[in-house]
Structure 1
Amino acid sequence: MQVIITNMTISEYCQQMKEKKIIVNHNYQRSGKIWPPAAKSYFIDTLILGFPIPKLYIYQVTDLKTRKTTKEIVDGQQRSTTILSFYNDEFKISGNSQFRGRKFSQLEEEDQSKFLNYQLGIDSFVNATPDEIRQTFKRMNSYTVPLNAQEKRYAISQGSFKWFITELSNRYAETLKSIGVFSEKELSRMDDAEFLSDIISTLFYGIERFSNSGLDKLYREYEDDFPNSVEINQQIDNAFYWILKWKEIHRTAIVKSYNFYALLLSVIHHLYPNPKLMEVRSVEKKHGFTDDIVLFNLSQLSEVLENKNSIEDKSKYSDFVKAASATTTKGHREIRFKYFCQALEPQIV
């Protein structure tokens, strides 16, 4: 078997697909699911903006009688058909893309050029048997880092909720890193997407122990449509608006992911009282917070976590200290949530 490593512009690739020099062989299709509009749009947006994508793999076959060579797409069929479909002006970009509402022909000339001249990385298998192709992918997969639960969720789902979380995490990834919730490594393993999914799950179903199966269910439930997107976006955006004002608590123990889960929910709950969260802590709707009071209260909580001996009356924080660890049990989550709710009010206790 010989592997030829090449690059091809999208313009060249689409022309060869139109001429049937590169064809789709559905025997190689690993998933029967067709990408929804959100997935197609996100992919095209990625290409126009020049971000890298995985290689395409092609099986090159020559008919000795006709001496005709064809290339069958082994891996990358959804990407290839999406590229060709957009090239043919068959759909508009949707979602939060800056190119929203435009077909290829409606893009600015500069952006059309970026799309057409994008360099696709292609590995072509020549003189390969089906077994050698199977072995290729088995060997490649044996050296990759195993997917975590959120990465598996993303690999399986192409539904509305996944693309909502994708846009949300893209919007807040840098913020979550800068205030100290996640490291760059954690962001690269999609901890932020899992965290935001968990927040939304709690808004819908109440505080529960963290559960991968519960998040899997959420992605399945909103596979076809996520009608709450505008409402949830507003709640999370407004909560981040206030938290970003409280710079003194950034990069403290309070914004460790397991504590930030409770803080973010408590801010949302005060701004938009949530029926499920009312079962844990009753609050009155607020239109904003008194920064000085909130910062003082949150600083007290931060201080008791980072320097327990500096607080005179430690007894009133004992439950919080016990619960403020990297645990995701329902009981500990509820205790943390109650304390943060209290911190947003005039008196912490």
Structure 2
Amino acid sequence: MKEHSMKANSAPMSVADFCKGLLQGDVKVNHDYQREENVWNSYMKSYFIESILLGYPIPKIFLYVNYDLKTKSSLKEIVDGQQRSLALRQFFENKLKISTRIDTEAFRGKLYRQLEPAEQQTFLSYSLSVDEFYGVTEEDVREAFTRMNANNVALNPEELRNARFKGEFKWFVNRIAKTFREPLLQHRLISRRDIIRMSDIRMFAEFFYMLDRGISTTKSAQIDDLYAAYNLEFPYEDDYGKTCVKSVTHWLEAGYGDLQQLGRKHIFYTHIAAIAEHQTQGAISMFIKGDDQITVDRILDKKIGLEELEAALSDEQTDDEDHPLREFIEACAAKTNVGHQKLVRYAYLLGALRNDAGA
């Protein structure tokens, strides 16, 4: 049996030295390991450069070092990190302008040469985490690369979606989620783990699905379809963004986040959908027809307030089979992504908004 001695040496490198290596040909891309260039769009590259300028950690870059014994020189091939390397090189050469849509206003629309001297220093001196494979064959490197990919933790649907889509809609949803991350954490609607696993992004994606297509059952395939539809172009960014910000701001300012029972993720996105409809008639109701409209009208006629809905979900009452709000209780407890359950939650919450407002 063949003995293997995979040697991986930690070799941190400044951005300046790494980019010089790329320009001089000492560091090259080996397409046996990496995808074609320009997989990342301009915003993704800008987001990456912004992360470096802000000092955030980035994923490790892996290089395969091949020594030429005759010339006593080495050639380093990129095993993992081509897209990052391309973004670094383009910005280093003033061929990449930072997107005007990133969070940090001071960096927007700038080339490297337009940064302040201190910012240029931060970029050039940033220490890249690099591992170098040496003393092995290319076959061994391919095997190592395969094992690195195989050992990754299985991604959930949200993480897979985030990796798959690179377009406008993905970044729009991510920005909205980030905008409200801290207040929603404070209200314990989401947790740090939810953020890591992108559950907060799914929550807002559910809301935008309703805003775009109405209330229906949503599994991963339906959310994927929404992302795909607006991957290349998203003409409703301004309208959807304003509607969402206005609705969530109202949810926060009205103190709805203090309601323990109603402050759950699947109730939240139907609640802000109801708020959107309450603020702008037709935002959601334009999609509701036929039997669904009959269901909504029936529930709205009940004149139920928000405090009653909160009380109905309390531990003391959820087991009461004869409870007058059993329909709402069940819509909040099981099959929460099913269209009818969402419709029932939405209708009760919309009715409560109207009732509490004296409508």
Q: What TM-score, normalized to structure 2?
A: 0.87
TM-aligned CA deviation for residue 67 of structure 1: 2.7
User: Hey, what does 1:175 align to over in structure 2?
Assistant: 183
- The answer to whether the 8 Å contact 1:58/1:75 transfers is yes
- The answer to whether the 8 Å contact 2:273/2:284 transfers is no
TM-aligned CA deviation for residue 147 of structure 1: 0.3
TM-aligned CA deviation for residue 305 of structure 1: 0.4
User: Hey, what does 2:102 align to over in structure 1?
Assistant: 96
User: Hey, what does 2:305 align to over in structure 1?
Assistant: 297
User: Hey, what does 1:13 align to over in structure 2?
Assistant: 18
- Paired with 1:33 and 1:156, the residues of 2 have a C-alpha distance of 15
1:43 and 2:41 are equivalent in the alignment: no
- The answer to whether the 8 Å contact 1:207/1:277 transfers is no
- CA deviation profile, 1:253-309 (whole Å, cap 9, x unmatched): 1021111121011111222334553315699xxxxxxxxxx9x93222111101444
One-letter amino acid of the structure 2 residue matched with residue 269 of structure 1: E
1:65 and 2:70 are equivalent in the alignment: yes
- Paired with 2:222 and 2:262, the residues of 1 have a C-alpha distance of 25
User: Hey, what does 1:330 align to over in structure 2?
Assistant: 339
- The answer to whether the 8 Å contact 1:48/1:115 transfers is yes
One-letter amino acid of the structure 1 residue matched with residue 348 of structure 2: Y
User: Hey, what does 1:105 align to over in structure 2?
Assistant: 113
- The answer to whether the 8 Å contact 1:96/1:167 transfers is no
User: Hey, what does 2:87 align to over in structure 1?
Assistant: 82
TM-aligned CA deviation for residue 139 of structure 1: 2.9
SS at match of 2:354: coil
Aligned partner (choices 232, 257, 280) of residue 272 of structure 1: 280
Q: Mark the CA change 1:329 to 1:273 in structure 2 (over 3 Å): closer, same or farther.
A: same
Q: Mark the CA change 1:203 to 1:125 in structure 2 (over 3 Å): closer, same or farther.
A: same
- The answer to whether the 8 Å contact 2:87/2:96 transfers is no
One-letter amino acid of the structure 2 residue matched with residue 234 of structure 1: K
User: Hey, what does 2:300 align to over in structure 1?
Assistant: none
- CA deviation profile, 1:197-217 (whole Å, cap 9, x unmatched): 121111111111121011111
- Paired with 1:23 and 1:137, the residues of 2 have a C-alpha distance of 17
SS at match of 2:190: coil
- CA deviation profile, 1:145-174 (whole Å, cap 9, x unmatched): 200011111112211111112222222222
1:240 and 2:248 are equivalent in the alignment: yes
TM-aligned CA deviation for residue 57 of structure 1: 0.5
- Paired with 2:121 and 2:75, the residues of 1 have a C-alpha distance of 27
Aligned partner (choices 121, 128, 132) of residue 136 of structure 2: 128
Listed as ranges, the gaps of 5+ residues in structure 2 are: 1-5, 297-302
SS at match of 2:133: strand
- Paired with 1:211 and 1:248, the residues of 2 have a C-alpha distance of 27
- Paired with 1:31 and 1:147, the residues of 2 have a C-alpha distance of 23
SS at match of 1:73: strand
- CA deviation profile, 1:180-203 (whole Å, cap 9, x unmatched): 222211211000111111211111
Q: Mark the CA change 1:344 to 1:53 in structure 2 (over 3 Å): closer, same or farther.
A: same
Q: Mark the CA change 1:31 to 1:158 in structure 2 (over 3 Å): closer, same or farther.
A: farther
- The answer to whether the 8 Å contact 1:6/1:122 transfers is yes
Q: Mark the CA change 1:325 to 1:33 in structure 2 (over 3 Å): closer, same or farther.
A: farther
RMSD: 2.5
User: Hey, what does 1:217 align to over in structure 2?
Assistant: 225
User: Hey, what does 1:263 align to over in structure 2?
Assistant: 271
SS at match of 2:25: coil
- Paired with 1:231 and 1:297, the residues of 2 have a C-alpha distance of 29
SS at match of 2:67: strand
Aligned partner (choices 162, 169, 174) of residue 161 of structure 1: 169
TM-aligned CA deviation for residue 178 of structure 1: 1.8
- Paired with 1:85 and 1:216, the residues of 2 have a C-alpha distance of 31
- Paired with 1:273 and 1:110, the residues of 2 have a C-alpha distance of 51
SS at match of 1:224: coil
Aligned partner (choices 197, 204, 214) of residue 196 of structure 1: 204
- The answer to whether the 8 Å contact 1:6/1:121 transfers is yes
One-letter amino acid of the structure 2 residue matched with residue 85 of structure 1: Q
User: Hey, what does 1:147 align to over in structure 2?
Assistant: 155
- Paired with 1:309 and 1:218, the residues of 2 have a C-alpha distance of 38
- Paired with 1:31 and 1:194, the residues of 2 have a C-alpha distance of 29
Q: What TM-score, normalized to structure 1?
A: 0.89
